[in-house]
Amino acid sequence: MKKDIILSGVGGQGILTIATIIGDAAAEAGINLKQAEVHGMSQRGGDVQSNLRLSTEEIYSDLIKQGAADMIISMEPMEALRYLPYLSSEGVIVTSSHPFKNIPNYPDEEALYAALNSLCSVSILPIEDLAKQNNIPKCANVLLLGMAAKYLEILSPEQLRESIKRVFSSKGEKVVEMNCQAFDIGLNSVK
């Protein structure tokens, strides 16, 4: 079994934290992992992207070729569309609906949502709003991971939840609890 995932977003949104959680869960489960990251101008709100390749077989490259990604997990809707050429015809997009307008020519929101909704397999939610409503505003990225957990298949939600506990353990029990809560909200929001 394999899963090729593109993580995308804007600097500071927690994309690399999602990659760390998935990577930790894969390592703990004995699943092969290759990862390539592009940070861009992450300090200034620029594009951040990571290729994650998970497999029960040996992996030879850390890059995902066009048309081969099984999933795009994106903290930002325009960034999800940016990597659309990499998505396979059976691939899934899991994204936030909240735009991060960091460029002057940001696309029209209606056109953006129309483009996303025209695709076959898209799961889109206002994760930032859900995180704020539940008093966990800094956990929107883990909420997004919860949404994606249904589609990961190579890792179970329980394996990801245990990874969240390990990754955030040094930050204290309250931070662990908030991130587990965010993960569960995301997981339960996808039917």
pLDDT digit string, tens, across residues 5-31: 999 988 778 888 999 999 999 999 999
48 or 62, greater pLDDT:
62
* CATH number, domain containing residue 47: 3.40.920.10
Spatial strand order in the sheet of 87-96: 32-38, 47-55, 2-10, 69-74, 87-96, 122-125
| Number of domains making up the chain | 1
Mean pLDDT of the 134-162 span: 97
- Residue 45: predicted pLDDT: 63
Whether residue 136 is predicted with pLDDT greater than 60 in this model: the reply is yes
CA distance 52 to 23: 8
User: Model pTM?
Assistant: 0.92
191 has a pLDDT exceeding 80: no
Q: Which domain holds residue 111?
A: 2-189
